[in-house]
Structures are given as structure tokens and as C-alpha cells.
Homo-oligomer: A and B are copies of this chain.
């Protein structure tokens, strides 16, 4: 299986970490967003939305969307499971994975898209919205810190796909100056150090 990705983008990284945790070998091919490779016809034939990652199977079928790819990999390689082991745990993992995506990754990505010079002249930016999103993220960091008072990972006491999404979100905050403050968010920082120390975080 071949993964089209950009090493610096958060969504392809979710898939790389997911595959690394399961020991799934993925060939990768870089599609540089900075160089505009995602806008070229060859890649648009794989994904008309011009988004990464894309998974290509041996028979040429393509799958877009990081979480569709991760779920497909979970079906092919069920263990160690990262989406949960029973209906209630799977529901919790989905809930927290969505919290990590909708409350952390998306606001952080919007802060970047609307506020960072990288996207100046590439897309229409709304800097005011970037500022609003930064405020939202700080509020959510405080909430995560509170949630992590009494547990090690986002769902109970084991690593799941929700932790992968949250890790990729936090790291993608850096270019926008969004960082966990260890004094304000000690539990969230403890969680971050724990997941960042896993070998998969370098995938």
C-alpha cells in the first residue's frame, strides 16, 4: 500500500503514527504542499479535493481521509486495536477522537490557515478568525487539562487513535505559537510527554 503524504502536515502524520503503532509497512510518496505538488493534475486525479493523505491499494483503488484510512487499516490489522475493543469502548474512542479533531486539530488548523504567512497569497485568509480560534484552543487546552486530572490517556488508561489525533493537533500548534503551558496545564503536559515519547511519534 502506498501513502501519499507531506511530512509536515498533521493529517498524513495521523496515518503514519497509526501504521507505526501496528507495525504496518506503508510505502510513502511525498506530495509537497509548500511546492504546490498537491495542486498538480497527477495528484488531483487521486484526490480532486487536493488534500492529503491518500492511500493507494495495489489494485489502484484510492482511499482519501485520514480516519477512513486508519479505520481501513484497523480492519486489515485488528490488533493492537486503536479504535476500542467493545461497543462502549469504541464509542468512547470515537467521542474522544472527534473531540481531539473538532476541538483541537480543526481550530489549530484554522488558526494556521487564516493567520500564518505560509498561506498568504495561497488562499483567502481571515486573520480575525485566526485570533478567535487561538482563544478557543486555549480554552480547550484548559478543558483537556481538567479531563486528564484522573487518567493517563484520553480514553482510560491506554493509548488509542484519539491520542494520535490530539498529539498531531498539539504539535501543529507550534507554527502558530500555540503551546501547552506546563504551569497552566500540567496534566495535559504530562499526557503530551507520555505520547510524544512513543517511538511512533517520530513516524
Task: Name A's B-contacting residues (CB within 8 A).
Answer: 48-49, 61, 63-65, 67-69, 71-72, 75-76, 87-88, 90-92, 94-95, 98-99, 102-103, 106, 114, 124, 126, 128-129, 132, 135, 143
- Which residues in B have their C-beta under 8 angstroms from that of A124? 132, 135
- Which residues in B have their C-beta under 8 angstroms from that of A63? 91-92, 95
Copies of this protein, total:
2
Q: Contact: B103 with A49, CB < 8 Å?
A: yes
Q: Contact: A71 with B48, CB < 8 Å?
A: no
> Measured between alpha carbons, how far is A128 from B71 in the docked complex, in Å?
36
- Given known contacts A114-B129, A129-B128, A132-B124, A94 and B75 CB-to-CB distance under 8 angstroms: no
Q: How far is the CB of A113 from chain B (nearest CB, A)?
A: 10
- Which residues in B have their C-beta under 8 angstroms from that of A132? 124, 126
Which are the 10 A-B pairs with shortest beta-carbon distances?
A75-B87, A129-B129, A126-B129, A68-B95, A72-B91, A68-B94, A126-B128, A65-B98, A65-B95, A124-B132
A94 CB contact (under 8 Å) in B65, B87, B88: B65
Q: Contact: B143 with A49, CB < 8 Å?
A: yes
Tell me which of A102, A129, A143 has the highest count of chain B C-beta atoms within 10 A of its own C-beta.
A129
> Measured between alpha carbons, how far is A91 from B66 in the docked complex, in Å?
11
Q: Contact: A67 with B94, CB < 8 Å?
A: yes
Q: How far is the CB of A49 from chain B (nearest CB, A)?
A: 7
- Given known contacts A76-B87, A87-B72, A87-B75, A95 and B64 CB-to-CB distance under 8 angstroms: yes
Q: How far is the CB of A56 from chain B (nearest CB, A)?
A: 13
Q: How far is the CB of A124 from chain B (nearest CB, A)?
A: 5
